[in-house]
Amino acid sequence: MQSNRLGWILLAPTLVILFFFGVVPFFYVLWLSFHQWNPFALDPAVVYNGADNFRALVFDSGFLASLGVTLAFVFFAVLSELIVGYLLAQAFLKDFPGKAIFRTIHTLPLIMAPIIVGSIWKLMTTPSIGIIPSLLDSWFGFDLNIGTSAVAAFTVTVVMDIWHWTPLVTLTLIAALVSLPADPFEQAQIDGANKRQIFWHITLPMIAPALLATVFIRLMDALRTVDEVLMLTGGGPGSATRYLGVHIFKEVFPRTNYGYGSAVSIIVLYLTIVSCWLLYVALIAPRNKKA
């Protein structure tokens, strides 16, 4: 084994960059979250107000509602992406003609910027002039109106997210699946295991680290979704799709409520870290230690 000094040297550039561009801004936001600051208040100064922001948060119905819809959004979107993404990745492992083309097609949504995705879906779903409501109406007589129906708007944001991000899950899972060794599978087949047993007892444990890494990435990205939703619904109708990213955006940008917005961000960050940490400690860390 090499000396640990080399290890630290290899790690150093990463730590330095993340420190200067991640940690330092974080401390600024943390500091700000204990202050009242709106540059357009009568007194535009930054004033220390202790834990007032955090106290207000607990009773802020707007924030709590936003937290609720965000969790629902993340749950439906990420779960669907995982299931669909895994199935598609499996389907890509088989050989069939035209596979390369299909794989390229499948990755296309990924290369579209969120603001473009939001725009396309907005144009496709605008009541009466969008193609989707128009077709649904003429085929099934179903009225899809994302401007008035909270359920419709929520569903469209979830479907949009699935469309956009499933390819990410597929790609990372393909990478994980192709590097699996073949022996355990052969052994299992010899032992007469069925498909379901192989999946639960061999495939899943072996791809678990990659799968969880993907879950984490999708989880935290979905939690901070802004551009797409802002473009598609603006957070409406009402507050139906005012997800935390959008909520914070509106708090900080138009309302210039920096102190309170920072407090909201800190809480959101804290909740994300804690829930990810729990998942991580339970599922990944022991594995890495063994390795």
Partner 1 sequence: MRRQRTWLYLLFWTVVSFFTLFPIYWLFVISVKPAVELFSTPEVILSSVYWKNYVDVLNDETLRGYMVNSLIISTGNAFLVTVLGFLACYALSRFNLGGKESIFFWTITNRMAPPAVFLLPLFLLLTQVYRFGDFTLLDTKIGMILVYCTFNLPFAIWTLRPTIDGIPKELDEAAFVDGASAWTVITEIVLPLARPGLAVTLILTWVFAWNEYLLAATLTNFNARTLTTGLSEYVTTTGTEWGVMAAISMFTLIPALIVFSLVQRHIVAGLTFGAVKG
Partner 2 sequence: MKFAYKLSVSAIALAMMTGASFAQDIQIKNPEWWQEAGKKFDGATLRGVTESTPASNYVADVLAPKFEELTGIDVQIETTSWDQMYDKAIKDMEAKTGIYDMVYIEQDIVYAYLARNFLVNLTKALDENAELKAPEYSEDNFTTFAENFRGSDGGLYGVPMEAFIKVYLYRTDLFNDPKIQAEFKEKTGKDLKPAKTHAEYTEIAKFFTEYGKANGMDLWGTTAQAHTGHPASWYEYFESVAPTYGVYNWGIDANNNYAATVENGGTMNSPEAKEALKWWLSMRDIAPPESVQSTWTEVATTFAAGRAAQGLVYGENAAWIATDEEKSRVVGEVGVALPPLEPGVLEEAESGKGYIGYYDGGAFGLPVTSKSQDAALLFMQFMALPEIQEDWAAAGSRITLTSTYDTPKVKEVDKELGGYYSMLRDDGKLFKGAPEYPFHRQVIEATSPTFYEILTGSIGPDEGLDMMAQKAEEELKNLGYRK
Between residue 207 and residue 236, which ones bind partner 1 under the rule CB under 8 A? Answer: 209-210, 213-214, 216-217, 220-221, 223-224, 226-227
Cβ neighbours around 259 below 10 Å, total = 20
**114 binds partner 2, rule: CB under 8 A:** no
Region near partner 1 per CB under 8 A, out of 75-83, 93-101, 141-149, 192-200: 93-101
Q: Which residues pair with 128 in a beta bridge?
A: none
Angle between helices 204-223 and 150-178 (to 10 degrees): 140
Between the alpha carbon of residue 110 and those of residues 100, 142, 221, the distances in Å are 16, 30, 13
Radius of gyration of the chain (CA): 23
**65 binds partner 1, rule: CB under 8 A:** no
Structure tokens at 136: 């649904």
**Residue 148 contact, options partner 2, partner 1, none, Cβ 5-8 Å cut-off depending on partner type:** partner 2
User: How far apart are CB 190 and partner 2 at their closest, in Å?
Assistant: 48
Per-residue binding letters, 29-68, with partner 2 (x by CB under 8 A): ---------xxxxxxx-----------------x------
| Phi and psi torsions of 36, nearest 5° | -100, 125
Residue closer to partner 1 by CB (options 32, 153) is 32
Residue closer to partner 1 by CB (options 135, 151) is 135
In the set 78, 144, 153, 174, which binds partner 1 (CB under 8 A)?
Answer: 174
In the set 46, 188, 202, 276, which binds partner 1 (CB under 8 A)?
Answer: 276
Angle between helices 131-140 and 114-125 (to 10 degrees): 40
Q: How many helices (H) and strands (E) does the chain have?
A: 15, 2
